[in-house]
Amino acid sequence: MTDTTQDASALIDGRVRELDDWRGETLAHMRTLILSCDPEIVEEWKWRGVPVWSRGGIICTGETYKAVVKLTFAKGASLDDPARLFNASLEGNTRRAIDLHEGARIDEAAFRDLVNAAIALNLSRKRKG
């Protein structure tokens, strides 16, 4: 892990602690699921406080709002989503998001499949370019 990655990871840890409610728990849980998909996923802290997970490009961001934890997949419109996890930002040509409200449950296997598909897409585009 680079110093930058360690710094980002520490900032994300801080965000989780700072939230101190269901949003922090949800963000921490989703972070664990994301990181479990590939040991080479890099955590970043961008745009004045947004956790970002990357592998060959951005996989997704993890934003927190008063009523929702939003996971935005940078190239979500290009990913198959047979479990229909994407429920926000559906109108765009590039991104797709998953809005998680308090008490929401997610199909963890389907979520991991989305993360892995995003990684595969990033890496395939990187090889072509």
Within 10 angstroms of residue 109's Cβ, the number of other Cβ atoms is: 9
Q: Is the pLDDT of residue 115 over 50?
A: yes
Q: Give residue-wise pLDDT tens across range 10-49.
A: 999 999 999 999 999 999 999 999 999 999 999 999 988 9
Say what the pLDDT of residue 107 is: 98
Who's near 44: CB < 8 A, 6+ residues apart?
4, 5, 8, 51, 52, 53, 54
Which CATH number is associated with domain 3-128? Answer: 3.90.1150.200
| Residues 57-112: tens digit of each pLDDT | 999 999 999 999 999 999 999 999 999 999 999 998 999 999 999 999 999 999 99
pLDDT score for 2 = 41
Report the C-alpha gap between 25 and 60 in whole angstroms. 18
pLDDT at 48: 84
What are the structural domain ranges in the chain? Answer: 3-128
| pLDDT, average across residues 2-6 | 57
